[in-house]
Amino acid sequence: MFTMFKKVSFSCLFLLISLSIGDGKQIVKAETRTSQVNVKNNDNKSICTNQLTSAINNVVNREDLKRSHWGILIKNLSSGETIYSQNAEKYFTPASNIKLFTTAVALTKLGSDFRFRTAIYDDGNGVLRVVGSGDPSLKNPQLQLLSQQLFQSGIKEINKLIADDSSFQGDLINSSWEWEDIQSYYGTQVNSLILNENAISLTLLPQKVGDKLQLRWDNSPERYHWKIENNTITTASGTPGFINIERDLKGQILRINGKLPIDAPPEVNTIAVFDPATNFLREFRQVLANQGISVKETLINNDQKNNNNSKEIAVVASPPLSELLLETNINSNNLYAEVLLRTLASKQPLGTNETTANLGLKVIKETLTDLGIEPQGYMIVDGSGLSRKNLVTPTAIVQLLQAMEKSPQKEIFRASLPISGVSGTLKNRFLNTNAVGIIQAKTGTMTGISNLSGYINTPNYQPLVFSIMVNQYQQPNQAIRTAIDQILVLLTDLKQCDN
C-alpha cells in the first residue's frame, strides 16, 4: 500500500479578492515550503564573469553531486549573451517548472482580467441548475452568496437542483499521475464545480495514554461518507510519533496508522475528496438549508447541453487571473494550474474522443510557438508538472522567460513568482545571503528532482535569466537545493572585470 497524506501547513498566502471570502479554507499546496537552507556568500564578495564557469563547476562536480544529472543555462536578460551553459539542450523532468508554461500561456490567451463564473439558472418548474466553469478559488462563502441571492429573489423551495459539471470533459485526473499523488491533497481531481479546492481537513488529537487518537473532521458533509480504520494510539510524553494515512483502492476507506505522544499538538492532514461533484452538491444543499431554502432532489449533469430558455438568477465571480496566478506559482498549487490548462480550451469545440485537457495542451503548444519557444525543447502532458512524462530543456525554459519579459503581461507574470527569502516556496531559502529579495523564480520538486528557474537582479551586474535543473540523484532534496542556491549566490556577487 502506498503512503499518502502529509501534514499540511496552513500558513498559505491569502489572495486579495473582490468577494467576501476571508473565512474560506486555503487547503491545497503543491510544494511545501522548504526548511531554511544555509548558504554562505562567496568569501571573495565578488566574482568576475571569466571566473564564473570555474566557480559553478566546482559546485556541480563535487564528489557527492557528480552522479546527479545537471542542466544549467544562465543568460544576460538584456543582451541574450550566454553566461554559463551545461546540458542546456538535454531533457529534464521539470516538476512544477511546468507551471511557468501553463501560467504564461494562460496570461497570454485569457488576459489578466479573466474571471471564472459560477452561475445558477432557472430552467422552469422549480428546476435550478448551478453551472461551474472550474473556479479553483470557490469556497463556502461564495456558496453562501449564491444562496443569499436566491433567497432575496423569493426562492424558498427547489424541486430539483442540478449540478452542471460539464465544462471540462475527460478524466478528472491525468492518467500518468502516480497513485500516491492522486490520493493526496496536492493531486486532487479537476472538475467544473470545485469547492474548497476539492479537499477536506482531518485533525488527529492525542487522548489518554493507550487510547486511540481522536479524529476530528472539518465541518463538511463529506465526513459522513468515509469508512475509517483507526489503528492509532496515544503514547507517553516524550515518545516519538508518526502518522500514516492511506486510502483504499476500492473507495472511501481510510486506514490511519501511527501514534502521537499525549502532549503532542493536534496533527492536521488534508484529504482529497472522493467525488468532487457530489461533495459540491452536499455542501451547497446544506448551505441552502441554512438560508431557509429546501431542496427536494439533486442531480449531477456531465453532458454538455445548453438550455437557451434558462434565465440566470444568481452568480459569483472569482478574483481576476492576475491574483489567481499568485496562488498558482507562489504556492505552486497544482489544482489551479490544471484548471488553467483546461480553461484554455473552454471556447473551442472538442473533436471526437478529445478531452478538454488535451485540447488545452494543443493551445499551449501553439501559443509557445508564437512566443518563440522551439517545439523540440519540451514535451508537456499536464498543466501542473505532477506527471513524470513531462520533459523540458533548460533552453526552452529560458526562452519562455525571455519571451515573457517582452510581453505586455511582464509585470503580472513576474509578480506571480516566489521571491527569494520572502514568499512562497522560496520563503526559507537564501536567508542571510545577498540573494534575499533579488531572485524571482519557480521551484520544481519531486523525489530525485529539484529545479529552479527565473530571474535575478544582480546588484553589480546586469539582470540575468536562468534555469537550473537537477534530476536523478539519491541525496536528500535539501542537499541539492543547497548546491543550487550556492550557484545563485555566486551570481549575486557577479561583476564585469577587465581582462
Q: What percentage of the chain carries pLDDT values higher than 70?
A: 88
CB 394 within 8 A of CB 378: no
Q: Higher model confidence: residue 246 or residue 207?
A: 207
Range of weakest confidence among 26-30, 205-209, 314-318 = 26-30
Model confidence band, residue 36 (pLDDT cutoffs 50, 70, 90): low
Provide mean pLDDT across the span 353-359.
93
Residue 198 phi, psi (nearest 5): 55, 40
Q: What percentage of the chain carries pLDDT values higher than 90?
A: 73
pLDDT in tens, 457-473: 999 999 999 999 999 99
Model confidence band, residue 33 (pLDDT cutoffs 50, 70, 90): very low
The predicted structure's pLDDT at residue 8: 35
The predicted structure's pLDDT at residue 497: 82
The predicted structure's pLDDT at residue 4: 40
pLDDT in tens, 60-81: 999 989 889 999 999 999 999 9
Mean pLDDT for the chain? Answer: 89
pLDDT for residue 154 is more than 90: yes
Query: CA 45 from chain center: how many Å?
Result: 37
The predicted structure's pLDDT at residue 11: 34
Range of weakest confidence among 197-201, 467-471, 483-487 = 197-201
Look up cell 581582462; give the residue. Answer: 499
The predicted structure's pLDDT at residue 307: 64
Cα–Cα distance, 231 to 226 (Å, whole number)? 15
The predicted structure's pLDDT at residue 22: 35
The predicted structure's pLDDT at residue 308: 67
Model confidence band, residue 13 (pLDDT cutoffs 50, 70, 90): very low
pLDDT for residue 150 is more than 70: yes
Cα–Cα distance, 215 to 388 (Å, whole number)? 34
pLDDT for residue 12 is more than 80: no
**471 SS3 class:** strand
Model confidence band, residue 386 (pLDDT cutoffs 50, 70, 90): very high
The residues with which 189 forms a beta bridge, in sequence order, are: none
pLDDT for residue 240 is more than 80: yes
Q: Higher model confidence: residue 313 or residue 1?
A: 313
Model confidence band, residue 31 (pLDDT cutoffs 50, 70, 90): low
pLDDT for residue 117 is more than 90: yes
Cα–Cα distance, 168 to 134 (Å, whole number)? 8
CB 497 within 8 A of CB 48: yes
The predicted structure's pLDDT at residue 274: 86
Record: fold of 47-112+323-495: Beta-lactamase (3.40.710)
Provide mean pLDDT across the span 154-174.
94
The hierarchical CATH code for the domain 1-25+116-318 is 3.50.80.20
Neighbouring CB atoms inside 10 A of 207's CB total 14
Cα–Cα distance, 473 to 57 (Å, whole number)? 17
Please write down the long-range contacts of 299-308, taking CB distance under 8 Å and 24 or more positions apart: 299/160, 299/161, 299/162, 299/163, 300/162, 300/163, 300/165, 301/129, 301/162, 301/163, 301/164, 301/165, 301/166, 302/165, 302/166, 302/277, 303/166, 304/166, 304/167, 304/169, 305/166, 307/121, 307/123, 307/129
pLDDT for residue 118 is more than 60: yes
Which range has the top average pLDDT, 48-52, 61-65, 100-104?
100-104
pLDDT for residue 254 is more than 50: yes
Residue 452 phi, psi (nearest 5): -150, 125
The predicted structure's pLDDT at residue 39: 62
User: Residue 76: is it exposed, middle or buried by C-beta count within 10 angstroms (0-12/13-18/19+)?
Assistant: middle
Provide mean pLDDT across the span 270-282.
91
pLDDT in tens, 469-481: 999 998 888 899 9
Q: Where along the chain do its domains lie?
A: 1-25+116-318, 47-112+323-495
Q: Higher model confidence: residue 78 or residue 14?
A: 78
pLDDT for residue 10 is more than 60: no
Neighbouring CB atoms inside 10 A of 16's CB total 8
pTM above 0.75, yes or no: yes
The predicted structure's pLDDT at residue 40: 58
The predicted structure's pLDDT at residue 15: 35
Neighbouring CB atoms inside 10 A of 231's CB total 13
The predicted structure's pLDDT at residue 32: 45
**363 SS3 class:** helix
